Amino acid sequence: MLLSKHLSKTVLISSASIVTLAMVAIAAQTVDWAELGESLSNRQETVDARISEVEPTPGPQENRQDAVLPLPVPKQPLPAEPRANSKVSSSGGGLLSLHSSVPSSARTARLTASADGVRPIARMPDRERFASADPNPLRQTALDPVSTFSIDVDTASYSFVRANLNDGRLPGPDAVRVEEMVNYFDYEYRVPDGRDVPFQTSVSVVETPWNKDTKLMQVGIQGYKVPLADLPPQNLVFLIDTSGSMADANKLPLLQQSFRLLLSSLRDEDEVAIVTYAGSAGVLLKPTKVSDKSSILEKINALTSGGSTAGHAGLKGAYELADEMTGDGEQTRVILATDGDFNVGLSDTESLKRFVTEKRKQGTALSVLGFGRGNYNDELMQTLAQNGQGVAAYIDTLSEARKVLVDQVVSSISMIAQDVKIQVEFNPATVAEYRLIGYETRALKTEDFKNDKVDAGDIGAGHNVTALYEITSVDSPARKFSDLRYENEHEAEKPVKGSYQGELAYVKLRYKMPGDENSQLIETAVTASSSDIPEKETLFAASVASFGQMLKGSDYLGDWTFEAVEDLARETRGEDRFGYRSEFLTLVRLAQVAER
């Protein structure tokens, strides 16, 4: 009896051991234990790297009273991700399943290390903000023949897209403003004969590269050019964000280099002052003639970052200093350099908009330079620049700083016209449908065109502006809208005046000279044979516009591809004096392998 009891226990234990051994054997065949151990080790190192990012070595700036110490982060290894060839049951688990239950959002921080082996830099989740607007729809000329919008000379979107692609990422759709990408490039537009009329309008019509059954109409506006020596004395207040968020290498250090370049472009008689803001704002440099470059450079070189972002306090202080600097016959401008994060004081967009608009009416303009990633508030930067009679640029490289602050310095600091609006009326006898490519955030009501109280974009000396329309002729097989059963017969049969029958559209440009209250008008008729702009220039603009639309996910490009964009841009690149068009070809290549 005793032997029987012991025997049954032995059999049970042996059976359990056999099952256990069987499970181990299965696992040994399924799991690469060496690789699993290495993966867990790497995950521990990843966590250590992340912790080192939020617990930096104490430095001089962390002795500030407003410094915030991060909470300790427990060092726990993250679950290993499944091997590429691991077999996971359709039920999503099982006893031996290695599939991680950690959501993908918890693993979004991406680590990149430089070639010299320095500490990896964590790519943290973005908190960037952009104005959102639906793409312009296709419109039926018979029902809606008029298109009205404010011009846009800013190019910040192109630089931001470039920064994303150079980092291996596709930009978000709202970050792409097609008109700013197109306007990044110069085209061979006619130059005005004199300053009495500040613009020359050029128009061309070509076959649309992505749809042989539609036409592409390019409207180009070229402002007259002014040598720097001919400008009145310039008073510039550098308003510099020195908050803690500006510590990255592509923020404050790049900002310092950029202002050194700007300083090299100014004349001895021009005057510069510097206001900085973090937790509070203060005057770093009182108004100083550019002839005293050493004093100005000393202050620029001494800039450090730390604290919160009291943007409104900085703006207020900068404008007060600008008022003191302004003299008869002089031009005064505040140049705000920031990553766009206002989190102390007056920080809502509408309040800042009213503040900047009032200061503009008092004679002080505002331009904005954006820096860095992760914190960039593009919507706020655009609002400030548009209402401050200035430009908004995004500085992602020192080359971009040179383009904006050296090569185009006159355009950036001197306006030749304000409240510039464009209105295009399409002829229903020749054009069945049309769509404006870009300018979604600059749309105006039809009645706003003649209303001189409605603000619009300003244009600097030498600036050019480009607008592209895709148009569908009345006899084109590409027409999308069906004929209306109950169309107004009177309107449908109403003939177009004989002298207008061959026209596709009529372009009207309205603007004010600086300081004027009343606008002036320039008008241009467009026909199918209009060719003021060389065809290769229009086609290069088309390559950029199609690239921007693809990044936004447009439905209007059919089977057009990045390869087609690249081929078209290469064929129409032209002289490319500064290499900007060649760089564009590189960005198209990068987009083909970038991650969303």
In this predicted model, what pLDDT tens digit does every residue of 297-319 receive, in sequence order? 999 999 988 866 556 678 888 99
The listed range with the strongest mean pLDDT (88-92, 246-250, 259-263) is 259-263
Q: Are 349 and 355 in contact (CB under 8 A)?
A: no
**pLDDT exceeding 70 applies to what percent of the chain?**
74
C-alpha dihedral, 487 to 489 to 492 to 497, nearest 10°: -160
Is the pLDDT at 272 greater than 90, yes or no?
yes
| pLDDT at residue 345, as a whole number | 53
Of the two residues 76 and 98, the one the predictor is more confident about is: 76
Confidence of residue 10 (pLDDT cuts 50, 70, 90): very low
In the chain, the N- to C-terminal Cα span, in Å, equals: 73
How far is Cα 123 from Cα 373, in angstroms, rounded to an integer?
A: 10
Report the pLDDT value the prediction gives residue 7, as an integer from 0 to 100: 45
Q: What is the pLDDT of residues 352-377, one digit of tens each?
A: 888 899 999 999 999 999 999 887 88
pLDDT tens track for 182-238: 999 999 999 887 788 898 899 999 999 999 999 999 999 999 999 999 999 999 999
**Burial letters for 198-208: b for 16+ Cβ neighbours within 10 Å, e otherwise?**
bbbbbbbbbeb
pLDDT of res. 334: 95
Q: What pLDDT is stored for residue 279 in this prediction? A: 59
> In the structure, what pLDDT confidence band is assigned to residue 488 with cuts at 50, 70 and 90?
low
Q: What is the predicted pLDDT for the residue at 388?
A: 92
Residues in the chain: 596
- pLDDT of 508-561, one tens digit each? 999 999 889 999 999 999 999 999 999 999 999 999 999 999 999 999 999 999
Position 174 confidence tier, pLDDT thresholds 50, 70, 90 = very high
Which is more confident, 76 or 465? Answer: 465
Residue 341: pLDDT band by 50, 70, 90 thresholds?
Answer: low
- Scanning the structure block, which residue is given the tokens 């401008």? 333
**pLDDT band per the 50, 70, 90 thresholds, residue 5:** very low
Alpha carbon distance 524, 171 (integer Å):
37
Mean pLDDT, the chain, integer: 81
What's the rounded Cα separation, in Å, for the pair 471 and 214?
Answer: 6
pTM of the model: 0.78
CA distance 560 to 212: 12
Predicted confidence at residue 353, as pLDDT, reads 87
CATH architecture of 228-413: 3-Layer(aba) Sandwich (3.40)
Q: Which two tokens mark 283?
A: 């005057």
* pLDDT computed for residue 126 by the predictor: 64
**In the block, residue with structure tokens 């002729």:** 473
CATH code for 139-226+416-478+502-591? 2.60.40.1230
Give start-end residues of each CATH 2.60.40.1230 domain in the chain: 139-226+416-478+502-591
The pLDDT value recorded for residue 374 is 80
Least confident of 26-30, 95-99, 269-273: 95-99
Range(s) within the chain of domains with CATH label 3.40.50.410:
228-413
In which residue are the tokens 């102390």 written?
Answer: 344
Where does the pLDDT of residue 440 fall: very low under 50, low under 70, confident under 90, or very high at 90 and above? very high
Q: Are 330 and 234 in contact (CB under 8 A)?
A: yes
